[in-house]
Chains A and B, each alone.
Chain A
Amino acid sequence: MKKALFIVLLGTFLFTGCAAYVAPTVPPMGLAFENVKAPLDVNVNKTKMSEKQGEASSLCVLWLFAFGDCSIAKAARNGNIKTINHADYQYTNILGFFQQFQVIVYGE
């Protein structure tokens, strides 16, 4: 009985999408460990590359609690960026117990 309940709980946690994220570009995901950086902005036609960057992140702990501000406004404010040219994101996942979604904006 306990074993069946554990399987149901584990299956529910793993397959309801709680341990995942959505972005325009999603590389193959690792359930046990993941640390990927991918484009957030996929419209890069004649986009000027910039060195200056700003970051903002949100966290999800133990699949249970998610909090944080990874908005464009916060990232631009953190990097003191006046004009954004393009953006990436970085996603870190350690067994689903710790997940970080970081938005990185590049601009001037």
Chain B
Amino acid sequence: MKKLIYFMFLTAFIMLVCSGCATYQSEVKPPQGIFFTSIKAPLTVNFDHTPTNAKLLKTSYKKTQYFQDFLLTWMNFAWGDINIPMIANKAGINKVAYADCEFLNILNIYAEFKVNIYGYADEKNDNSPEL
């Protein structure tokens, strides 16, 4: 009986840890690691005439975070705001060219999802190309 309870507990624990609660959804998602993931991937997938030259500004200072408390409550918490207009406005970008994302996951205990936006700054004599 003790063995059965131990086995059930272990199964539940493995399922919880490996079920990918700290994962994310995106149009492009490379393979993830169970213990550790640190990847960058495309967020946008419509690339026709997408500029990638050096004049592009990059902004990525916003991220969402995830934390699972394994010790006391076993509850998980996620917070953050990564909406594209807000990030672009703060960096003065008014023409977004494309976006990438960064995902960090450590043992499903701590995770971060960051959005990198690339675009042109708004200027009065705007010479940036039409996107």
Answer whether residue A1 sits at the interface, using C-beta atoms and an 8 A cutoff. yes
With contacts A24-B27, A72-B100, A83-B52 taken as known, whether A18 is within 8 angstroms of B40 at the C-beta atoms is no
Q: Contact check, B50 vs A66: say whether CB atoms are below 8 A apart.
A: no
Answer whether residue B11 sits at the interface, using C-beta atoms and an 8 A cutoff. yes
B38: A residues at CB distance < 8 A: 66-67
Interface bin, chain B: 35 or more
Chain A interfacial residues counted at CB < 8 A: 55
Q: Contact check, A73 vs B50: say whether CB atoms are below 8 A apart.
A: no
Answer whether residue B7 sits at the interface, using C-beta atoms and an 8 A cutoff. yes
B29: A residues at CB distance < 8 A: 21-23
Answer whether residue B90 sits at the interface, using C-beta atoms and an 8 A cutoff. no
Q: Contact check, B51 vs A63: say whether CB atoms are below 8 A apart.
A: no
Q: Shortest beta-carbon distance, B26 to chain A, in Å?
A: 7
Q: Contact check, B48 vs A23: say whether CB atoms are below 8 A apart.
A: no
Contact with B along A54-90 (1 / 0, CB 8 A): 0000101101111111111110110001111111010
Distance of A12 Cα from B7 Cα, bound (Å): 14
Interface residues, chain A, with chain B CB atoms under 8 Å away: 1, 4-5, 8-9, 12-13, 16-24, 40-47, 58, 60-61, 63-74, 76-77, 81-87, 89, 93, 99, 101, 103, 105, 107
Interface residues, chain B, with chain A CB atoms under 8 Å away: 3, 7, 10-11, 14-15, 18-20, 23, 25-42, 44-53, 58, 98, 100-102, 116, 118
